[in-house]
Amino acid sequence: MNEALTLLSFGDMGWGDEIALGVVTTVSLALASLPIGLLLGFLLALAKKSEEPSLRAAANVYTTIFRGLPELLTLFLVYYGGQILIQQVLSLFGDVYFEVNAFLAGMIALSLVFSSYASEAFLSAFRAINKGQYEGAAALGLGYGQTMRLVILPQLVRLALPALSNLWLILLKETSLVSIIGLADIIRYSNMAARTTKEPFLFFSVACAIYLVLAIISSGGISRLDAWAKRGEAHK
Amino acid sequence: MNDVSLPSQQSYVQPKTIEPQTPPPAPKHRPWTSTRVVGTTWLTLWIAAGLGIIWFLLNSNHVALVFGGEGLLPVSITHNATFLSRYGEKFISGFFVTLQLVSVSMLLGVLLSIPLTIMRMSKSRILGGIAYAYVYFFRGTPLLAQVFLLYYGAGSFREPLQSVDLWWFFRDAWNCAILAFTLNTAAYQVEILRGSIESMPKGQWEAADALGLPKWLTFWKIILPQALIVSLRPYGNEIILMIKGSAIVAIITIYDLMGETRRAFSRTYDFQAYVWAAIAYLVMVETLRRAWDRIEDRLTRHLKR
């Protein structure tokens, strides 16, 4: 027991500080992907509910691809594919060696996946909003932007929140994949610690426990957010 | 309708009939609204990307751009006519490994999820708590961490495992992958089953009770068949999630589709490895999704009007 505590302590003897760094990477990667994914997902949902068939088709191709590919493969496609593409473009200008940042690749890949799922969440929320809301807003003389901002979005947030919070929890877990392309997240440091100390079970249990704690913290935040989104509803 | 003659109402206003009008002429061209411009551009880009990939695959089976070479130029051109002939068969075998992994662990997961669901729904707080903790753990942690915990973590218990003669099981990556995936999918399946059983309206139980049916018969003949229909869609989604999730076993040296892809890429640095894998996974997932939709259509035909 004491030995395990030493291994997990901060400082030279333990891996606590490294794992803490990994937690920072994991959380910041998830937090960085979230806004991009949400924005893209919202725009995709707008495209999918538009009356223009070509726009709907294009948005559906996007979701089919990024919901159908394994997340790991999306990550590899972005990481290696991006590397090759940029390298080829750069090679037109001469010999420049360029390495794609693993964090950036992870962020892009996770945002792509997140946005395709989020678009479905937004779309079903849009469908749950009564047509009368648009008509009422039009009757009040609100323009498209005002209708969206003042009437639709507040309801959309409330309706899409349960699905989106689920997606956030999934995103948090999916960040673990970036350890495979070498980004130093929780799993990567646990792996390093496990190899060095020959205590794999201890370190991977700690990694799992950290993810659980992150999930529990998120759930707390989500339920507060949910209460905030539902503040307009009558108490039952 | 019966012929009810209305009391004649005297109308003071002369009814003014208008001649039937011709419908407004159909617009000759759909106007190029901004959404249409965006949509068409986007769709064109997709088509271009698709054609580009086809061109790339065709082209690279004669000439491949290779990157990552040590030395002066990181990008060089090699003749590589043999990518498909060299790795095609491996890809197919990897494809079957993926299918096998998913189907075996799905089936084992079904078996495991049944007692867990019973525990989860039982009145006993201890049994319910254990099942809840199980589900929470496997749904709250990444699959990758679970696989590592089982495969590498078992190494911490080598001696005790050897003493009960179980070490052979954990030494093998395939067994660990199957075990991890089974445990993981069982947790998700518990929630699917429980959710669908609990979604059945109370009236179903009450009506069966009024007919004098015993509880177990009510469950078996009335609740479960309806619950399974409700759970069809989530089960389909779970299979798709498993197919996608199974890609990570490549990390623990199993040569599934992803594993073969990584091996081919690490030997040739030829990007088409990943393109082929993407195509294979997309085809697999889309086929399953469509087949599942049809199965669902067929099984729920009595619920449609």
Is some CB atom of chain A closer than 8 A to the CB atom of B205? Answer: no
Under an 8 A CB cutoff, do B152 and A202 touch? no
Measured between beta carbons, the chain A residues lying within 8 angstroms of B40 are: 54
- Looking at residue B180, its pLDDT comes to 95
Q: Is pLDDT of A211 > 90? A: yes
- Which position has the higher pLDDT, A152 or A3? A152
Q: Nearest chain A residue to B251 by CA: give it.
A: A180
Q: Nearest chain B residue to A211 by CA: give it.
A: B141
Measured between beta carbons, the chain B residues lying within 8 angstroms of A201 are: 149, 152-157
What does the pLDDT look like over B12-52, one tens digit per residue? Answer: 666 677 888 888 887 778 888 888 999 999 999 999 999 99
Mean pLDDT lowest among A33-37, A79-83, B19-23, B50-54: B19-23
What does the pLDDT look like over A183-194, one tens digit per residue? Answer: 899 999 999 988
> A150 to chain B nearest CA, in Å?
23
Q: Express as a percent the part of chain A with pLDDT over 70.
A: 96
- Looking at residue B31, its pLDDT comes to 83
Q: How many other C-beta atoms are found inside a 10 Å radius of the C-beta of residue A177? A: 27
CATH of B89-303, one of 3.40.50.300, 1.10.3720.10, 3.30.1330.40, 3.30.70.260: 1.10.3720.10
Mean pLDDT lowest among A60-74, A137-151, B78-92, B169-183: B78-92
- Which position has the higher pLDDT, B85 or B213? B213
Is some CB atom of chain B closer than 8 A to the CB atom of A71? Answer: yes
Burial group, residue B157, by CB count within 10 angstroms (0-12, 13-18, 19+): middle
Is some CB atom of chain B closer than 8 A to the CB atom of A94? Answer: no
Structural domains of chain A ordered from first start: 2-229 (1.10.3720.10)
Q: Taking a C-beta distance cutoff of 8 angstroms, is the pair B37, B45 a contact?
A: no
Measured between beta carbons, the chain B residues lying within 8 angstroms of A52 are: 33, 35-36, 39
Under an 8 A CB cutoff, do A65 and B282 touch? yes
Domain assignments of chain B as residue spans, ordered by start = 89-303
Q: Is pLDDT of B149 > 90? A: yes
Cα-Cα end-to-end distance for chain B: 26
Measured between beta carbons, the chain A residues lying within 8 angstroms of B258 are: 70, 72-73
